[in-house]
Every structure is written in structure tokens, then in C-alpha cells.
Amino acid sequence: MSMSKSGGAMLIEELKSRGIRVTPQRAIILDVIQRNPGHLTAEEVYAEVQRINAYINLATVYRTLELLKELDLITESDMGTGAAQFALRTHGPHHHAICRTCGRSFEFPHPLLAPLIEQLDSKFEFVADAHHIVIFGWCHRCLPASGR
């Protein structure tokens, strides 16, 4: 995928190149996803879409997100909020650590997990889908209260 396109053009061109029809509703959803790098829930995508076109329903948003996930254009993650969050694959491999008590989170770089990923492959013959990993635990402020 080329990163030079603005708005939803990159995703639209990617879908068209794969022979997938891009309806006007899909084009709006793709534009919202493209303009919001980072993680969004389906409901957040829907809220943004509603500002542009109130006739697009939540089911259409879910179907489009599912299609993008199947095509490996977005990733789906459990960030501990109770709702799945989606991010463009072009966001790059990155990972999150999230405190179970206060919810504080931070991103950490992929190279920290690279040795683990390599060992899973070489020692266990397992290729990890490790584009985006979320690790739950406790920050030092909350650790005493966690009983750990």
C-alpha cells in the first residue's frame, strides 16, 4: 500500500485493486479510518461517519471493518476497554502496555518483542502474528494496591 495518498484514497485504491466494489458508504468509512491514524472502536468510526452521512448504519461500519480485517489492511486489538479497537496496518508494528488498575497505557517499540518472536519461530516452529500486542499488568503506582 502506498502511503502517499490522502484521505481514504489509499484504502479505496487498495480495495479496487483487489476487485472489491467501493460503494459511497464504504468510501466515507474508509476516509474516516484513513484520517484517524491510531486506534478506533467501531462506535468511534460510526460517530465520525454519522457527522458526514447520517444514513450510514452501524452494521455497515462493522461489515466494512470486518472486510478490512479479512484483507489484512487493519488490525483488531483488545485494549482492555471492553470494545475491540482497530488500526491501519500502515500504523506499523507496535505494542501497548496497559495498567489493569488505572488504565494508563503506553506504546512500546516492536524491537523489544523481536527476540521472543524469533524464538517462537526457531524453537517452537510457530510464526506469531505479532503486528500489535497488548500486555496487561500494573504500573508502579498501582502495583501495591494490586496485591502483587
Residues 79 and 127 in one domain: no
Residues 100 and 142 in one domain: yes
| Averaged pLDDT, 90-104 | 77
Residues 68 and 34 in one domain: yes
Does residue 3 belong to any structural domain of this protein?
no
* pLDDT of 58 higher than 90: yes
- CATH number for the domain that contains residue 110: 3.30.1490.190
Residues 54 and 118 in one domain: no
From the list 135, 37, 137, the residue with the least C-alpha distance to 79 is 135
| Averaged pLDDT, 65-87 | 80
Intra-chain end-to-end CA distance of the chain, in Å = 44
Confidence of residue 8 (pLDDT cuts 50, 70, 90): low
Provide the greatest CA pair distance for the chain. Answer: 55
Is the whole-model pTM more than 0.75?
no
Contacts for 142 with CB less than 8 Å, ≥ 6 apart: 99, 100, 101, 102
Residues 33 and 73 in one domain: yes
